[in-house]
Amino acid sequence: MKREQLIAQIKIKKSFLCVGLDTDLTLIPEFLLDYEDPVLEFNKRIIEATHDLCIAYKPNSAFYESRGLEGWKSLIETSKHIPSSCLSIIDAKRGDIGNTSSMYAKAFFDPESSGMNFDAITIAPYMGSDSVKPFLAFQDKWVILLALTSNEGGKDFQFIETGTCRLFENVIQKANTWAGNDRMMYVVGASQGDEFLNIRKYAPDHFLLVPGVGAQGGSLQDVCKYGLSESCGLIVNSSRSIIYASSGEDFAQRAREEAKKLQSEMAEILGGIGF
C-alpha cells in the first residue's frame, strides 16, 4: 500500500486505528477450540467485524511462531484475510544483517516464497543500515523502525545523549537518509506524551505507529495533541482492549463496539483539524 492510498483510507474511514492481532490460544473464546484452526477463525471474525473501522491490522509474529508449524499456518492464512483496503503490518521486530535480513524480508514480503505478502514490518535499528535496506529492496513495502518505546527498559539506551541529541533522535535522523516518508515509519509508544513534539522536529510528516492505547493505558488525546501531522501521520494500535472485549460468543460484536468507540473519537479529532 502506497502512502497516498493509506491517507485516502484514513479520510474515507475517518480513522487511523490499527487493530493488533496478538491472538493467544489461551485467551480466545472456548467454543472456537472446536474449529480446525481456532486462531484463524478468531482472527477472521475480528477482521470481518472491524475492517470498516480501521486502516491497518498488525499480527505480532511471536504469538504465531510460539505455536510452531500450526502457528505459521495461522499467520499465513490470517495475512490472506486482511483486506487490501487495510495496511497489513507484521510486528516481527527483526534486526540482522546481510543474507539473514534478506531472508527475513523474503519471508514476510514474498508470497511466492512464503505465502505472506505483508505491506510493512517492524524493524529493530541497532545493527544499522544493512539490517534495514534489504526490506526496502521490496517495492512499495514499508519499514517501521523502532524509535521511542514505552517499556521501562527503553530508557537504558534510547535517551543516551549522543552529542547534539539523544539516541532515539539520532536513529530517526540517520534512518531518514535511507528512505523517505513514503517508505519509512517509526514506532513511538503512546505514553511518551510531549516527546512526540521532539520526534516531529526530525520526522515532521512521517507516519508514526503508536502502540499502547487502550489496555496499556496510553491516551489517544495526548498522542494526537502532540503527534498529529498535516497528513494525520499517526497509526494508533489497540490490541487487547478490542480483540478480548468479550470471551463469549459475542466476542466479534464486542470487538466492533470497542473499535467503534476509538474510531468515533478519531473521527472527531480529524474533523477538528479539517482533515
Helix (H), strand (E) counts: the chain: 12, 8
Instruction: Kindly state the average pLDDT of the residues 178-203.
Output: 93
Flag whether pLDDT at 214 surpasses 70: no
Flag whether pLDDT at 215 surpasses 60: no
Domain count along the chain: 1
Segment 41-60, tens digit of pLDDT: 999 999 999 999 999 999 99
pTM of the predicted protein model: 0.96
For 153-221, give the secondary structure using H, E and C. HHHHCCCCECCCCEHHHHHHHHHCCCCCCCCEEEEECHHHCCHHHHHHHHCCCCCEEECCECCCCECHH
The answer to whether residues 3 and 41 touch, using CB atoms and an 8 Å cutoff, is: no
Scan for cell 526530525, then name that residue. Answer: 202
Q: Which of 87-91, 151-155, 266-270 has the lowest mean pLDDT?
A: 151-155
Segment 92-143, tens digit of pLDDT: 999 999 899 999 999 999 999 999 999 999 999 999 999 999 999 999 999 9
In this prediction, residue 216 carries a pLDDT of 58
Catalytic residue among 73, 93, 106, 260: 93
Flag whether pLDDT at 249 surpasses 70: yes
Task: Give the integer Cα–Cα distance in Å for 13 and 17.
Answer: 10
Q: Which domain holds residue 71?
A: 3-272
Amino acid found at 48: E
In this prediction, residue 83 carries a pLDDT of 98
In this prediction, residue 273 carries a pLDDT of 87
User: What does the DSSP 8-state code read for residue 25?
Assistant: T
Task: Give the integer Cα–Cα distance in Å for 6 and 12.
Answer: 10
Residue of higher predicted confidence among 222 and 206? 206
pLDDT bucket at 163, cuts 50 / 70 / 90: confident
Segment 69-106, tens digit of pLDDT: 999 999 999 999 999 999 999 999 999 998 999 999 99
In this prediction, residue 194 carries a pLDDT of 83
CATH number of the domain within which 20 lies: 3.20.20.70
14 noted as active-site residue: no
Mean pLDDT across the chain: 95
